């Protein structure tokens, strides 16, 4: 993997420097396993030592890697974050596509007291469907895609459900990736079948 070079839900948000790099170097190999997104919207850089300890969601906290703290780097990742046709989410790092290991879902939603929804990337979203899994986790489908409600906002989500603003559909957690079209581990998928861009 190349080192991160810079300090999305759509190509319009992609940085100009990234578009220029893609045009200049269109065939840079994709990168798997080096970046993770946890269930609270935090980004993790996973070096070889972290990856050697197991999968991002395997239970070993050291396998997560190093939590990113650099604000400009996080902003750069979030501006250039999107999905391919197979539902694998990635960060377009210049000419290189860095696929993201997801602890939960591709979006982590923050809910304001007025029930407005904001993604972990800072983008606003509109709730279109509410889902409840067997563990009591609340998810929202929006025009941006499917995501988990942040644990700190569960009280607001519970109030929205109790008031009838959101009427949850109950689904098993195991069915969510296929039903809502996302891949939690592009690295594991790539081992069994090559990703198609």
Each domain of the chain, given as residue ranges in start order, spans 11-104+182-192, 107-175
pLDDT tens sequence across 86-97: 999 999 998 899
By the 8 A CB rule, do 177 and 183 touch? yes
Question: Which residues are bridge partners to 132 per DSSP?
Answer: 138, 170
Report the predicted TM-score, pTM, of the whole model to 2 decimal places.
Answer: 0.83
For 158, counting Cβ atoms within 10 Å of its Cβ (0-12 exposed, 13-18 middle, 19+ buried), the class is middle
Q: Which of 143, 138, 150 is nearest to 176 (CA)?
A: 138
By the 8 A CB rule, do 33 and 187 touch? yes
pLDDT tens sequence across 118-162: 999 999 999 999 999 999 999 999 999 999 999 999 999 999 999
Consecutive H or E run containing 131:
strand 127-132
CATH number belonging to domain 11-104+182-192: 3.10.540.10
């Amino acid at each position: 993997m190349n080192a991160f070079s810079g300090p999305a839900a759509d190509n319009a948000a992609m940085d100009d420097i990234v578009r220029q790099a893609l045009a200049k170097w269109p065939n840079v190999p994709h990168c798997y396993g080096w970046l993770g997104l946890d269930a609270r919207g935090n980004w993790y850089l996973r070096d070889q030592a972290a990856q050697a300890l197991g999968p991002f969601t395997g239970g070993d906290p050291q396998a997560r890697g190093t939590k990113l703290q650099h604000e400009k780097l996080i902003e750069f990742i979030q501006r250039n974050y999107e999905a391919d046709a197979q539902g694998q989410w990635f960060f377009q790092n210049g000419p290189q596509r860095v696929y993201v290991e997801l602890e939960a879902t591709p979006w982590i939603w923050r809910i304001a007291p007025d029930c407005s929804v904001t993604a972990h990337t800072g983008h606003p979203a509109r709730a279109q469907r509410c889902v409840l899994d067997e563990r009591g986790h609340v998810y929202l489908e929006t025009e941006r895609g499917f995501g988990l409600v942040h644990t700190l906002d569960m009280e607001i989500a519970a109030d929205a459900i109790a008031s009838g603003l959101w009427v949850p559909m109950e689904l098993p957690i195991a069915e969510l990736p296929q039903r809502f079209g996302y891949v939690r581990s592009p690295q594991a998928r790539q081992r069994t079948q090559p990703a198609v861009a």
